[in-house]
Copies of this chain bind each other. A is one copy, B any other.
Amino acid sequence: MKFGILVNEGPYNHQAADTAYQFAKAALEKGHEIHRVFFYHDGVNNATKLTEPPQDDRHIVNRWSKMAEEHGVDLVVCVAAGLRRGIVDDNLAPGFRISGLGQLVETGIQADRTVTFGD
């Protein structure tokens, strides 16, 4: 099955970013496809390459980047939400791309299920 995932909160502050990742990981391991992960609202903060969590903690940004690299998952940051919050090409982590909100609607159309994670 083809999943779309919407992430509405930033890393560390809300568990939404963690749950979305664990869900996506489980879906891939079960052989499903992730059509796209779309980052909206504070969710765009998942995409900053400047993040340096404590060494004994998970690295939420790098986890997404690795998932993009290993599974070709399309990680899309909303351009408008990103501009409001200072997520732009300059600080974008590998594997993420910036695009418009149309990409979210398009995922809703293309994916068999679109699951939202937020606050």
Which A positions have Cβ atoms within 8 angstroms of B? 10-13, 41-42, 45, 48-54, 57, 61, 80, 83-88, 90-91
Contacts and interface: CB of A to CB of B under 8 A. Distances in A.
Nearest to A57: B84
Given A50-B91, A90-B50, A91-B50, A85 B41 contact: no
Given A10-B42, A13-B42, 6 more contacts: A12-B84, A12-B85, A50-B90, A50-B91, A51-B83, A52-B83
A84 B53 contact: yes
Contacts of A50: 86-88, 90-91
Contacts of A86: 45, 48-52, 61, 91
A52 B88 contact: yes
A85 B57 CA distance: 13
Contacts of A61: 86
